[in-house]
Chain A
């Protein structure tokens, strides 16, 4: 009997400067059949370029972005500032999940300022977290 794989969502993007953390999250998402297509970026600037060029080509946008905060050159918030400049109708259906090991209260304050940063999870993401994320889709 052929077991049909069903995914929670189609497309997910991961942005994290740390290659080990990219690997860990990618593996968790795969093990839980969370997304059909996972694109990974260790550079937020490249992730942004990818999104910008794709939206002009009218490509399918990821439905979810897992975003780290502490990254060199461009941090998660700077990424979000640029991301939010993309027209509303394109980013409307993209949920941003912040995934970090920060404990700085200022980071939590900043997160509140972003309407599309829907949820915050502490690293490492667990299977239970994915269940919770699924409920808000």
Chain B
């Protein structure tokens, strides 16, 4: 004959080894029985922490929760219920539990499974799919904008070609051919911009020792003719006493863009046109300032100029990609860019670039 106590012992042992929480609550909301998982799930230390106490004593405020409403209804009407519940612990943390509530003669029997991790994973998936949706929408917008910007020089060229076909006038023909040429150059420029945007996204950062002064001199050399013909004075204040390590291609692209912008937006009405480039380096960061006394940027556009395809002027040609790519590239290099501009007076682009030396 088996000792009935042995049976109870075996049963309790089995219940304590369940992954699921198992508890019995009296109609007065007292804990009559809890297994080990309930202790763990409710963040208590021992069964004695709970047994004999009411839910309200252990979890003040529980009587105002949705969970308690459900429990009350089950207790009163003898209903079963199965649902997922978010539980606020007294220490401020939260947990998710899958609950099965069954009425029994002693009150309520509650089976609980901790699903906090699963819920967190679900939340992460939700955030990731929202991000993906956003990225997809952006890609869509990008594709249509690029398609438009590639087509627009082509449609101009088609128009100009039809003139050439119909016209006998040699002078007009040359004029139209030159317009075609400038449209092709614009298109080429745009394609290069799109490529450098994509390169920045895909190619790994590769650091090497860079002389800031030499890089700037090289770029100024490219624009030598433009600077001279527009009578723009160059002032350099570069102070580099420590080695500067950075991705060469990206760094060079950033300064080329900022110099070409400063030239592009010069103010032909001013007589003392200048571009001032200031730079200093320490072992952590390099600060570069590109200042010009060009046409400036109207205040209402200043926060938008780094956006993709944003253009401020219809007088000066551009794809609306340059500054966007500069910003993206700087961010890739662990840096940032911001603008200070007084419309019609001056503009300065301030760059902060991480020195990979440290």
Contact = CB atoms under 8 A, between A and B. Distances in A.
Interface of A: 17-18, 20-21, 23-24, 27-28, 42-43, 70-73, 100-104, 106, 122-126
Nearest to A31: B166
B27 interface: no
B314 A102 contact: no
Contacts of A102: 144, 148
9 contacts: A18-B152, A18-B156, A43-B314, A72-B310, A100-B148, A101-B155, A103-B148, A123-B152, A123-B159
A31 to B, nearest CB: 8
Given A28-B159, A73-B312, A73-B314, A20 B183 contact: yes
A123 B156 contact: yes
A56 to B, nearest CB: 25
Contacts of B147: 103-104
Given A124-B159, A126-B162, A71 B152 contact: no
Given A20-B183, A27-B163, A72-B312, A124 B156 contact: yes
B160 interface: yes
A13 B151 CA distance: 24
Contacts of B310: 72
Contacts of A126: 162
Given A24-B160, A104-B144, A124-B158, A42 B314 contact: yes
Contacts of A28: 159
A73 B145 CA distance: 16
A28 B155 CA distance: 14
Contact of B155 (A43, A72, A122): A122
A70 B156 CA distance: 14
Nearest to B315: A42
B179 interface: yes
A99 B311 CA distance: 20
Interface string B311-350: 1111100001000000000000000000000000000000
A125 B144 CA distance: 21
A72 B311 contact: yes
Interface string B156-182: 101110110000000000000001001
* Chain B contact surface mostly: helix
A124 B155 contact: yes
B314 A104 contact: no
Contacts of A103: 144, 147-148, 151
A20 B148 contact: no
Q: How large is the interface on B (under 10, 10 to 19, 20 to 34, 35 or more residues)?
A: 20 to 34
B314 A123 contact: no
Nearest to B144: A104
B162 A124 contact: yes
A126 B183 CA distance: 19
Contacts of A70: 148, 152
A20 B312 contact: no
Nearest to A104: B144
B140 to A, nearest CB: 9
Nearest to A72: B311
B312 A123 contact: no
Given A72-B314, A73-B312, A24 B156 contact: yes
A91 to B, nearest CB: 24
B183 A17 contact: no
Nearest to A99: B155
Nearest to B154: A101
A18 B163 CA distance: 18
Contact of B148 (A27, A42, A104): A104
- The list of the 9 closest CB pairs from A to B, nearest first, reads A124-B159, A72-B311, A17-B314, A104-B144, A123-B155, A24-B159, A101-B151, A101-B152, A101-B155
Contacts of B163: 24, 27
Contacts of A124: 155-156, 158-159, 162
A21 B156 CA distance: 6
A1 B234 CA distance: 64
A35 to B, nearest CB: 18
A73 B310 CA distance: 8
A17 B312 CA distance: 11
Contacts of A43: 314
A106 B147 CA distance: 14
Nearest to B179: A20
A30 B135 CA distance: 46
B159 A101 contact: no
